[in-house]
Amino acid sequence: MKQDLRVMKTQESLRNALLTLLKTKALDSISVAELCRLAKVNRGTFYSHYKDVHGVFKHYLEVIVEDFKKAYEEPYYRTGFRIQYIRPEMIKIFDHVNRYKSFYQIIFHQKIPMMYYYLLFDTVRKFMYESLENNHINPELEVQMDYLISYQANAILGLIMEWNRQDYATPTEELSKQLITILSINSPFRNKE
Amino acid sequence: MKQDLRVMKTQESLRNALLTLLKTKALDSISVAELCRLAKVNRGTFYSHYKDVHGVFKHYLEVIVEDFKKAYEEPYYRTGFRIQYIRPEMIKIFDHVNRYKSFYQIIFHQKIPMMYYYLLFDTVRKFMYESLENNHINPELEVQMDYLISYQANAILGLIMEWNRQDYATPTEELSKQLITILSINSPFRNKE
DNA sequence: TACATTATTGAACAGATGTACAAGAAACTG
DNA sequence: CAGTTTCTTGTACATCTGTTCAATAATGTA
């Protein structure tokens, strides 16, 4: 049983309308009414498909997360996460973010709800979880996986947020070089000795 | 020139009403109209003080950030950030978050705008910036301060978010122990060898 | 205390939200 | 192709938003 043609038409129309509106105004300033007017969809119909405008936007995020996963899961990544190999892995991620920066700018915006951030956070966490499993590291250390993963995953997102804050001025190559340097620092705030 | 008494009364009334409403419903479900009804403040008056309900909530966040800073800036913290001394520093922060967890639960909620997260992020970044300056580390390494700081600051927030996700089940002592262990791992995903 | 200043109120407005329901239109199914 | 199912539409309603404005009340000050 496939999708009803009318449903597909309605949703596609709303998605196109959102893309059009996003060219000229911020996501959080787009109302359901405005979106429906442009898409020529009855407002009642809208509410039978989505809860709010974010519901429509979420569709794009799913596409992006899909690309994110693809960028990450290419065969040679499965080699692990050792520091000397981190560059080719990360540059792919940074390339991905760079490719979709117009969306990341929206997602990271002050007025946008945390839900999108969590989607990214969870995606990165899942990647790291798999990496850690494959490499079964530090069984002697008493670290709760969840904390280690959340620490590392959010650190990467912190890097990307900084990149976003600087309007993606840093080239991806430079960014991954920065990451390598950061990772090579043993303890984050050690003194020189 | 001090504040007008009427202004103070209005704002206090709105703040109290918000606290009352937060006991029974989520921040994002509280409308300006409802808040004003409970506070017995004219809606027009509301808009001459705040832009929306978040404007009122922000006041509490300022109080919390103030406490955060106090928790961080106690004299002996100025000793630096070396790994062996990180425990007493961090436990204070974790204690702070634990003390205000009902607020952090709100801030970290899916539907809440990123603005509060940025406020935390910026606060932690500022702390780290000062720590790094005092300890003038790795001048030989070519790291852009901004990236290093955003990486580290967001990593800590990742830890706190994970704590929040687990409903603050982990005791603060255990959490700071986890942090020490994580920091002691040289590269985040090194293989054992 | 009297006066000038400033804040609050109430009312009104156009537009938005979220929900409901009957009537009509479009799509699937045999 | 006909019939049934499902979706969309139009309309309506109560409530909320954000803004404006004149009238009124409270405050600070000379």
> Do A44 and A90 share a domain, yes or no?
no
A113 contacts on B by Cβ (under 8 Å): 110-114
| DSSP per-residue codes, chain B | ----HHHHHHHHHHHHHHHHHHTTS-GGG--HHHHHHHHT--HHHHHHH-SSHHHHHHHHHHHHHHHHHHHH--GGGGG---GGGHHHHHHHHHHHHHHTHHHHHHHT-TTSBTHHHHHHHHHHHHHHHHHHHHHT--SSS---HHHHHHHHHHHHHHHHHHHHHTTT-S-HHHHHHHHHHHHHSSSTTPPP-
Domain, as residue range, for A82 = 57-184
Domain for residue B192, yes or no? no
Strand partners, B113: A113
* pLDDT exceeds 70 at position A84: no
Q: Best of B189, B190, B192, B193 to disrupt the A interface by mutation (most A CBs within 10 Å)?
A: B189
> Do A109 and A129 share a domain, yes or no?
yes
DSSP-derived 3-state class of residue A113: strand
Domain for residue A192, yes or no? no
> Do A37 and A74 share a domain, yes or no?
no
The set of residues, in sequence order, having a beta carbon less than 8 Å from that of B11 and lying 6+ positions away, is B49, B56, B59
d(CA B143, CA B62) in angstroms, rounded, equals 32
Answer yes or no: do A162 and B146 touch at CB < 8 A.
yes
B130 contacts on A by Cβ (under 8 Å): none
pLDDT-derived band at B137, boundaries 50, 70, 90: low
What is the spatial distance, in angstroms and rounded to an integer, between the CA atom of A127 and the C1' atom of C14?
Answer: 50
Nucleotide nearest to A10 (CA to C1'): D8
> Do B40 and B121 share a domain, yes or no?
no
> Do A43 and A81 share a domain, yes or no?
no
Domain for residue B38, yes or no? yes
Q: Any chain A CB within 8 A of the CB of B150?
A: yes
Domain for residue A189, yes or no? no
The set of residues, in sequence order, having a beta carbon less than 8 Å from that of A88 and lying 6+ positions away, is A76
Q: Give the pLDDT score at A126.
A: 94
Q: The CATH number of the domain where A44 resides is what?
A: 1.10.10
Domain for residue A191, yes or no? no
Report the protein residue whose CA lies nearest the C1' of nucleotide D15: B33
> Do A69 and A128 share a domain, yes or no?
yes
User: Which residue of B lies nearest to A111 if distances are taken between CA atoms?
Assistant: B113
Total domains in the fold of chain A: 2
Answer yes or no: do B182 and A147 touch at CB < 8 A.
yes
Domain for residue B157, yes or no? yes
> Do B97 and B178 share a domain, yes or no?
yes
Do B185 and A141 contact (CB within 8 A), yes or no?
yes
- Chain C positions within 7 A of any protein Cβ atom are 6-12, 15-21, 26-29
* pLDDT exceeds 70 at position A48: yes
* pLDDT exceeds 70 at position A78: no
> Do A41 and A68 share a domain, yes or no?
no
B72 contacts on A by Cβ (under 8 Å): none
Taking only the tens place, the pLDDT of each residue in A97-141 is: 999 999 999 999 999 999 999 999 999 999 888 877 766 655 666
Do B117 and A114 contact (CB within 8 A), yes or no?
yes
DSSP-derived 3-state class of residue A53: helix
> Do A155 and A68 share a domain, yes or no?
yes
User: Could you tell me the maximum CA-CA distance found in chain B, to the nearest angstrom?
Assistant: 69
> Do A42 and A61 share a domain, yes or no?
no
Q: Any chain A CB within 8 A of the CB of B151?
A: yes
d(CA A18, CA B33) in angstroms, rounded, equals 29
Taking only the tens place, the pLDDT of each residue in B138-150 is: 566 667 899 999 9
Domain for residue B134, yes or no? yes
* pLDDT exceeds 90 at position A161: yes
Nucleotide nearest to B47 (CA to C1'): D18
> pLDDT above 90 covers what percent of chain A?
69
Taking only the tens place, the pLDDT of each residue in B87-136 is: 677 788 999 999 999 999 999 999 999 999 999 999 999 988 887 776 66
Please tell me the number of Cα atoms within 13 Å of B43 on its side-chain side. 6
Answer yes or no: do B138 and A192 touch at CB < 8 A.
yes
